[in-house]
Structure 1
Amino acid sequence: MKNIQIIDGAVNATFSVFQATDEEFDAIFPQGRDIELVEDLLDRLGDEAAGLVLAPMWSRPILKRDVVGIHGTLFYDNVDRRTHIPQSKREVDWDSGAINQAQRDLFARHR
């Protein structure tokens, strides 16, 4: 199972984490991505197929204190973030001006 943190526009700002099977994860985050906007997921898979991928995941929440790693971030109601997300939708590809030196060094080792 892989852990996906949901970043949404909710006022409660809980940013819950849910578990996905490897197959679900690969459908949500293809080609080595670890960042996705739900609007792009819906465009890519279509509403019905995306719903079939996401529905089982919603029944597998996990407490943050029990999470051993976050494997992906799925954004809801955050289209305005699109200009800030790397085009590759991979964490390791953030613009070097947006992260600190330790992150630049870490990400360079994982590209």
Structure 2
Amino acid sequence: MKNIQIIDGAVNCVYDLFAATEEQFALIFPGDTDIAFIDEVYERGDAVLLNAAFKAIWQRPVKKKAANGIHGTLFYELEQKKAYYPTRKDDEAINPNGSLLRAVKR
């Protein structure tokens, strides 16, 4: 199982974690990506498969203190964040000027 952190545009967003199977994770995060935006997920995937995957994922919340890592981050309603993740890889996040967001790549 892989843990997905959910970040949405709500002021009271609490950054919940949910467990996904390897297959479900691959539907949301293609290749070696670990950042996804819900609109792009549905643009490139089959809605029926994705709806079934999310229905199952939402049934598997993970308590943060019990989590063994965060394997992907899924954004809802935060279009402005796309500019920081052009490769959809957390380790390659950039500033608006193109410089690395983090001083050192992890």
Determine if the TM-score, normalized by the shorter chain, exceeds 0.5: yes
- Give 5+ residue unaligned stretches, structure 2: none
Distance 1:43 1:4 in 2: 19
**Residue identity opposite 2:101 in structure 1:** A
How many angstroms does 1:13 deviate by? 2.1
Quote the residue 1:109 is aligned against. Answer: none
Identity %: 35
Quote the residue 1:30 is aligned against. Answer: 30
How many angstroms does 1:82 deviate by? 1.2
Q: Which moved more, 1:14-23 or 1:75-84?
A: 75-84
C-alpha RMSD of the superposition: 1.3
SS in 2 for 1:97: coil
Distance 1:97 1:21 in 2: 31
Higher helix share: 1
Quote the residue 1:82 is aligned against. Answer: 82
How many angstroms does 1:79 deviate by? 1.2
- Give 5+ residue unaligned stretches, structure 1: 107-111
Matched, 1:97 2:96: no
